[in-house]
Amino acid sequence: MNYSTQMDAAKKGIVTREMKRVAEKENMEVKKLMELVAKGQVAIPANKNHKSLDPEGVGSGLKTKINVNLGISKDCYDIDLELEKVKKAIDMKAEAIMDLSSFGKTAEFRQKVINISSAMIGTVPMYDVVGLYDKELKDLTEKEILQVIENQAKEGVDFMTIHAGINRATAEVFKRNKRRMNIVSRGGSLIYAWMQLNNKENPFYEYFDEVLDICAKYDVTISLGDACRPGCVSDATDAVQITELIALGELTKRAWEKNVQVMIEGPGHMALNEIKANMVFEKKLCHNAPFYVLGPLVTDIAPGYDHITSAIGGAIAASYGADFLCYVTPAEHLRLPTLDDMKEGIIAARIAAHAADIAKGVKGAVEWDNKMADARQKLDWEETFKLSIDPEKAMRYRKESTPECDDTCTMCGKMCAVRNMNKVMGGEDVNIL
């Protein structure tokens, strides 16, 4: 192998196995894909040690991808359940899974996930630091924090959220600009607390070159974390968020100089009318790097329904240029998601992603809808189920309420517009009574 990363290969004009596979999935010429990877406008997160991976591309001109969060916590330490979620997420065609485990020795669980997952795997190394060393936050050293990145890279993690943008300069802007919700990023709050407790610079920022060397060695894509993302609509698009975004744009250039692939993480809570502008800001300030949005949740008042608030925002964000949606479940802000919560979150995110792909004119996106329209016009229920984003639910609803006539449903019965138009246009009588 005479290249270090996918970006390095692309700059050298080398078509990798991963590029071929992504081009095939996206119905794109591999040469065009290679050019986008070389520019940093597409990332192919593919750790050299993730042998079970079926690679995906994230970025310009490609289908919008979705990520599923899962992992163990101190209060919910059920490894078997989390592995069941991994398998279900893959079955439901999620392109990425982030292990956000935050308790105990997580390496064994993470290795199992990497071994079985064809989806790309992401992590937030900062979550793992306290549990790995059995130390309080303030007692951790810079070397120990960076070692976690090396450990996870060696295991086969494809992309990592690195909160490098909340440096001392960004922290000062945060202190001067009061927010309703302060810092809501878990990883961001941990690194900010470490900085304050030790009166030091953010180690991810100070030793960013060392982080890049690790990522280049294993071809780990850096997902530059938005530690200062808004946690409520009131905090959106403020000085702190934009200051961090500018820093992330500068870090992006440094990563690309070392052939490390980059994604940028974006806002959490945000009013509908601010989403388009935020997509423009990100693409401009971060040089058209792929954008990974955590929502956006378009209102703060829907606990139990935040998969819906997120899907609304995600569809709008992706239609204006976001490339990667992090799913949100009905359990957001309330508890660790169950398997059923996860299913609902995946479906909501996939709907949002597909709706955006239609709006963006992604090649082949609308063909799925056209096939569904044809099946409905023919009242072909079996084909309708087959084409459904959730066939199981569609079939269950149909069976739970049986109509008098097979070519109708219990909503309209013989008044069904499709049924009657088919009859009239076919020269048949319409018998409603």
Separation of alpha carbons 404 and 421, rounded Å: 19
pLDDT at 297: 98
Please check whether residues 388 and 356 belong to one and the same domain: no
Tokens at 298, concatenated: 């378009």
Question: Is 186 known to sit in a ligand binding site?
Answer: yes
Is residue 215 over pLDDT 80? yes
pLDDT at 211: 98
Q: Which helix (H) or strand (E) holds 359?
A: helix 339-360
Residue 223's DSSP bridge partners are 161, 263
Please check whether residues 236 and 383 belong to one and the same domain: no
Separation of alpha carbons 335 and 425, rounded Å: 54
Please check whether residues 391 and 269 belong to one and the same domain: no
Question: Is 255 known to sit in a ligand binding site?
Answer: no
Question: Is 52 known to sit in a ligand binding site?
Answer: no
Question: Is 69 known to sit in a ligand binding site?
Answer: yes
pLDDT at 74: 84
Per-residue buried b or exposed e for 14-29, using 16+ beta carbons within 10 Å of the residue's own CB: eebebbebbbeebebe
Q: How confident is the model at residue 208 (pLDDT cuts 50, 70, 90)?
A: very high
Question: Is 185 known to sit in a ligand binding site?
Answer: yes
Share of the chain above pLDDT 90, in %: 91
Please check whether residues 330 and 382 belong to one and the same domain: no
Q: How confident is the model at residue 8 (pLDDT cuts 50, 70, 90)?
A: very high
Q: What is the arithmetic mean of pLDDT over 90-107? A: 91
Is residue 189 over pLDDT 80? yes
Question: Is 409 known to sit in a ligand binding site?
Answer: yes
β-strands 42-43, 58-59 pairing: antiparallel
* pTM to 2 decimal places: 0.96
Tokens at 56, concatenated: 């995906």
Question: Is 265 known to sit in a ligand binding site?
Answer: yes
Q: Identify the domain containing residue 392 by its residue range.
A: 376-425
Task: Spell out the residues 6+ positions from residue 356 whose beta carbon is closer than 8 angstroms to its own.
Answer: 64, 314, 315, 316, 317, 318, 319, 322
Is 17 a member of any domain?
A: no
Please check whether residues 402 and 290 belong to one and the same domain: no
Please check whether residues 189 and 258 belong to one and the same domain: yes
Is residue 131 over pLDDT 90? no
Is residue 75 over pLDDT 90? no
Question: Is 164 known to sit in a ligand binding site?
Answer: no
Question: Is 416 known to sit in a ligand binding site?
Answer: yes
Is 314 a member of any domain?
A: yes
Please check whether residues 184 and 329 belong to one and the same domain: yes
Is residue 76 over pLDDT 90? no
Question: Is 232 known to sit in a ligand binding site?
Answer: no
Separation of alpha carbons 225 and 186, rounded Å: 11
pLDDT at 422: 94
Separation of alpha carbons 333 and 235, rounded Å: 17
Tokens at 31, concatenated: 């040469």
Separation of alpha carbons 291 and 306, rounded Å: 21
pLDDT at 431: 86
Rounded to a whole number of angstroms, the CA Rg of the chain reads 23
pLDDT at 130: 83
Share of the chain above pLDDT 70, in %: 100
Is residue 354 over pLDDT 90? yes
The last residue of one of the domains, among 360, 390, 413, is: 360
Is 382 a member of any domain?
A: yes
pLDDT at 21: 98
Is 408 a member of any domain?
A: yes
Q: How confident is the model at residue 102 (pLDDT cuts 50, 70, 90)?
A: confident
Q: Which helix (H) or strand (E) holds 172?
A: helix 168-176
Please check whether residues 291 and 386 belong to one and the same domain: no
Task: Spell out the residues 6+ positions from residue 6 whose beta carbon is closer than 8 angstroms to its own.
Answer: 16, 18, 19, 37, 43, 44, 46, 219, 261
Helix axes 239-257, 208-218, angle to 10 degrees: 50
pLDDT at 103: 80
Please check whether residues 330 and 395 belong to one and the same domain: no
Question: Is 288 known to sit in a ligand binding site?
Answer: no
The alpha carbon of 195 is separated from its chain's Cα centroid by a whole number of angstroms, namely 28
Question: Is 163 known to sit in a ligand binding site?
Answer: yes
Question: Is 50 known to sit in a ligand binding site?
Answer: no
Is 430 a member of any domain?
A: no
**Residue 121 burial class via C-beta count within 10 angstroms: exposed 0-12, middle 13-18, buried 19 and up:** buried
Please check whether residues 356 and 381 belong to one and the same domain: no
Tokens at 80, concatenated: 């078997």
Please check whether residues 346 and 408 belong to one and the same domain: no
Question: Is 133 known to sit in a ligand binding site?
Answer: no
Question: Is 407 known to sit in a ligand binding site?
Answer: no
Is residue 104 over pLDDT 80? no
**N-term to C-term CA, the chain:** 73
Count of domains for the chain: 2
Contact 138, 198 (CB under 8 A): yes
33 to each of 45, 259, 358, how far by Cα in Å?
A: 14, 16, 20
CATH number of residue 165's parent domain:
3.20.20.540
Is 1 a member of any domain?
A: no
Is residue 105 over pLDDT 90? no
The alpha carbon of 30 is separated from its chain's Cα centroid by a whole number of angstroms, namely 24
Is residue 335 over pLDDT 90? yes
Q: What is the pLDDT of residues 384-398, one digit of tens each?
A: 999 999 999 999 999
**Closest alpha carbon to 200 in 117, 140, 267, 278:** 140
Is 12 a member of any domain?
A: no
Please check whether residues 356 and 380 belong to one and the same domain: no
Average pLDDT, the chain: 96
Question: Is 388 known to sit in a ligand binding site?
Answer: no
pLDDT at 391: 96
The last residue of one of the domains, among 329, 360, 391, is: 360
Q: What is the arithmetic mean of pLDDT over 10-19? A: 98
Is 41 a member of any domain?
A: no
Tokens at 377, concatenated: 């016009």
